[in-house]
């Protein structure tokens, strides 16, 4: 691996002029050779680049172009090109004065900015410097008039999708995974009449509601399993209201949480889950395995309608499941449906959470390493977009990666899934606190 001669702070000073980017070292003259051929072999057709020269007097200087290098012998136009010198960590920038002559593609030279600055001139470790030829700069300030090069580096300018520090802190350790599993297993609702928290999963077709249950179930089973029907389809694979209990191990006792799966939401009216059915589910009127009928919601006269549900049959937390890949293209009609549901749930005082699924498909950085989910600029932007479009606080949006193609568990995926379940239990606690306060006030009035 080649080591960069530019310090991280010097790289940051250059990148600050170019937007949300990072530098990837392509060519190092001391390794590949101080020749035009070596430079072109490594740097041609690589898109935007930063070229940097170093000399014995400590000067660091070079140029930027968004045009890929070639050996055409022609000038190329670039109105964004500039040459620069670094004084410590301070960048002095000299923009191109005639953009049509920004960069010249010369075969027997290194990076050639107009006819003003050439790094590796005529296959030698020297600089050609002629200020005023399409770039205006002070030669003494630029390179101290020392035209002998000790090093030349060329960096590809890449879009940066990662921040230095996690925007949410997560402990990625096996001990943390074990702690999360234990805390979920020993959880008890603060209201005695409720033994299991009921969490209602709501979301568009294919967002991953059933897959989320399967994934959480897999974590506690110790291997990837698939109990709920899940897959790819344009219409909902879930056609019944299902309450899924998760067991701690193959023959373990059920966890204190029930995940309630519903038919997927669809953008057209008269298709997918009906908003009136959601209202009935929230109030506990809908029995397990009730068959949804999008054109006729469950009514109070139906034979399987639960007329007097207790608190344990009601929903204690609503979780919206949203596909990270489809946020930006979510149809307006679907967004309006979700907002209408949100208003209804708000009126009932039930806490609400959003699960952002398929984060690995939405961001290559996360696909490469799930632990980078909270370093990903893309995922952060998606969380912000969901927050704005659905009108929920940022803290209520939780990214997860469901198990889909894997055959073995991944501890990092488990930590995200378990963290989401922990949030659901915390939100349910808020629901129970509100109910307790309400009951206390009612008793006081008596």
DSSP assignment of 386-422 equals HHHHHT--GGGEEE----SS-SS--HHHHHHHHHHHH
Q: Which runs of E-coded beta strand occur in 211-363? A: 240-247, 254-261, 290-291, 317-323, 352-357
CA distances from 283 to 40, 59, 279, 325 (A): 69, 72, 6, 32
Asked if 94 and 136 touch (Cβ cutoff 8 Å), the reply is: yes
Does residue 166 belong to any structural domain of this protein? no
Across the chain, which has 446 residues, the per-10-residue mean pLDDT values are 88 90 94 95 96 96 96 95 93 95 94 95 93 94 95 93 85 95 93 90 87 93 74 53 84 89 72 74 83 70 78 92 88 86 90 95 91 92 92 94 89 96 94 69 45
Cβ neighbours of residue 19 closer than 8 Å, sequence gap 6 or more: none
Name the burial class of residue 226, with classes exposed (0-12), middle (13-18) and buried (19+) by CB atoms within 10 angstroms of its CB: middle
Final residue of a domain: which of 124, 159, 194? 159
Q: Running DSSP on this structure, what letter comes out for residue 362? A: H
Which of 178, 199, 284, 203 is closest to 246 using CA atoms? 199
Q: Do both 252 and 145 map to the same domain?
A: no
Q: Do both 215 and 70 map to the same domain?
A: no
Q: How many residues does the chain have?
A: 446
Final residue of a domain: which of 111, 131, 159? 159
Q: Do both 132 and 236 map to the same domain?
A: no
Q: Do both 235 and 331 map to the same domain?
A: yes
Q: What is the pLDDT of residue 416?
A: 97
- φ, ψ of residue 393 in degrees (nearest 5): -65, 150
Final residue of a domain: which of 106, 127, 159? 159
Query: How many domains does one find in the chain?
Result: 2
Q: What is the pLDDT of residue 403?
A: 92
DSSP count for the chain of H helices, then E strands: 12, 18
CB burial of 243-270 (b: ≥16 within 10 Å; e: otherwise) equals: bbebebeeeeeebbbbbbbbbbbbbeee
What CATH number does the domain containing 418 carry?
A: 3.40.50.300
Asked if 112 and 71 touch (Cβ cutoff 8 Å), the reply is: no
Q: What is the pLDDT of residue 235?
A: 47
Does residue 384 belong to any structural domain of this protein? yes
CA atoms within a 13 Å half-sphere pointing along the CA-CB vector of 3 = 2
Does residue 165 belong to any structural domain of this protein? no
Cβ neighbours of residue 53 closer than 8 Å, sequence gap 6 or more: 59, 60, 61, 62, 119, 127, 143, 149, 151, 152
Does residue 149 belong to any structural domain of this protein? yes
Q: What is the pLDDT of residue 231?
A: 47
Q: Do both 259 and 147 map to the same domain?
A: no
Does residue 62 belong to any structural domain of this protein? yes
Q: Do both 117 and 216 map to the same domain?
A: no
Does residue 115 belong to any structural domain of this protein? yes
CA distance 294 to 154: 61
Q: Do both 14 and 54 map to the same domain?
A: yes
Q: Which residues pair with 53 in a beta bridge?
A: 61, 152
CA distance 298 to 278: 10
Q: Do both 87 and 215 map to the same domain?
A: no
CA distance 102 to 31: 28
Q: What is the pLDDT of residue 237?
A: 54
Asked if 127 and 330 touch (Cβ cutoff 8 Å), the reply is: no
Q: What is the pLDDT of residue 410?
A: 95
Alpha helices, H only, 26-117: 29-32, 36-43
Domain with 98 in it:
8-159
Cβ neighbours of residue 142 closer than 8 Å, sequence gap 6 or more: 59, 61, 83, 85, 117, 129, 131
Q: Do both 155 and 178 map to the same domain?
A: no
Q: Do both 349 and 379 map to the same domain?
A: yes
């Amino acid at each position: 691996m080649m080591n960069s001669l530019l310090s991280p702070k010097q790289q940051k000073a250059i990148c600050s002029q170019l937007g949300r980017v990072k530098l990837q070292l392509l060519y190092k003259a001391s390794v590949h050779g101080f020749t035009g051929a070596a430079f072109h072999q490594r740097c041609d057709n690589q898109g935007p680049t930063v070229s940097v020269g170093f000399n014995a007097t400590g000067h660091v200087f070079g140029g930027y172009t968004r045009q890929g290098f070639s050996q055409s012998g022609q000038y190329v136009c670039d109105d964004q090109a500039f040459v620069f010198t670094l004084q410590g960590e301070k960048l002095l920038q000299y923009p191109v004065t005639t953009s049509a002559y920004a960069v010249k593609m010369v075969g027997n030279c290194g990076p050639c900015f107009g006819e003003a600055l050439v790094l590796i001139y005529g296959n030698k470790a020297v600089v050609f410097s002629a200020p005023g030829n399409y770039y205006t700069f002070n030669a003494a300030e630029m390179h101290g008039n020392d035209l002998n090069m000790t090093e030349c580096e060329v960096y590809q300018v890449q879009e940066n999708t990662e921040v230095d520090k996690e925007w949410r802190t997560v402990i990625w350790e096996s001990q943390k995974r074990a702690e999360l599993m234990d805390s979920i297993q020993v959880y008890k609702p603060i209201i005695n009449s409720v033994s299991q928290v009921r969490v209602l999963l709501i979301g568009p077709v294919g967002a991953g509601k059933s897959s989320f249950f399967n994934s959480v179930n897999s974590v506690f089973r110790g291997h990837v399993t698939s109990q709920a029907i899940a897959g790819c389809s344009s219409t909902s694979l879930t056609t019944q209201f299902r309450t899924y209990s998760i067991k701690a191990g193959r023959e373990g006792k059920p966890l204190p949480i029930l995940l309630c799966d519903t038919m997927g939401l669809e953008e057209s009216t008269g298709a997918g889950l009906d908003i009136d059915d959601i209202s009935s589910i929230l109030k506990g009127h809908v029995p397990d395995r009730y068959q949804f009928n999008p054109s006729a919601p469950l009514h109070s006269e139906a034979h399987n309608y639960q007329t007097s549900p207790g608190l344990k049959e009601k929903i204690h937390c609503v979780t919206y499941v949203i596909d990270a890949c489809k946020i930006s293209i979510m149809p307006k009609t679907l967004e309006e449906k979700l907002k209408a549901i949100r208003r209804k749930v708000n009126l009932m005082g039930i806490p609400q959470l959003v699960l952002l699924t398929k984060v690995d498909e939405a961001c290559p950085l996360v696909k490469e390493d799930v632990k980078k989910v909270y370093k990903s600029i893309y995922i952060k932007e998606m969380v912000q977009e969901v927050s704005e479009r659905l009108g929920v606080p940022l803290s209520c949006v939780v990214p997860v990666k469901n198990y889909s193609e894997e055959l073995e568990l991944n501890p990092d995926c488990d930590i995200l899934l378990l963290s989401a379940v922990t949030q659901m239990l915390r939100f349910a606690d808020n629901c129970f606190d509100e109910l307790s306060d309400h009951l206390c006030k009612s008793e006081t009035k008596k």
